[in-house]
């Protein structure tokens, strides 16, 4: 069994677990295509050391970019940039790495400490 994402107009509308035979013979009234996705793939890496599949596990609302052959989530903030290697969104400034809690402030495009 494998995970498959139903993609319509480049957006994931469903994610199911099924056999390839089921996908090949699945009939419904929705337009779109089924694209295999891996539950163990994140940021272009396979969590268990296997071969990563399509950069990230598909989730409803994610984009499937056919040219990149990759799934990625919605852009969290207008200033964030899609990393082409991982297909993860990255802030324009690096989050501090000091055991404190931070949240992103889009107005000043910087990380602010949360007390």
Distance CA 45, CA 58 (A): 14
Tokens of 87: 């297909």
pLDDT tens for residues 17-62?
999 998 988 776 678 899 999 999 999 999 999 999 999 999 999 9
Taking all residues of the chain, what is their mean pLDDT, rounded to a whole number? 95
Instruction: Quote the pTM value.
Output: 0.89
- The pLDDT of residue 76 is above 80: yes
Bridging pattern class, strands 70-72 and 11-18: unpaired
Three-state secondary structure along 42-78? Answer: ECCEECCCCCCCCCCCCCCCCEEECCCCEEECCCCCC
């Amino acid at each position: 069994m494998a995970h498959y994402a139903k993609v319509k107009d480049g957006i994931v509308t469903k994610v199911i677990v099924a056999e390839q035979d089921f996908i090949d013979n699945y009939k419904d009234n929705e337009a779109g295509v089924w694209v295999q996705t891996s539950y163990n793939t994140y940021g272009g890496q396979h969590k268990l050391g296997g071969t990563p599949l399509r950069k990230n596990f598909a989730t409803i609302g994610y984009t499937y970019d056919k040219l990149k052959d990759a799934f990625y989530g919605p852009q969290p903030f207008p200033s964030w940039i899609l990393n082409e290697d991982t297909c993860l969104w990255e802030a324009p400034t690096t989050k501090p790495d000091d055991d404190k809690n931070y949240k992103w402030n889009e107005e000043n495009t910087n990380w602010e400490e949360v007390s």
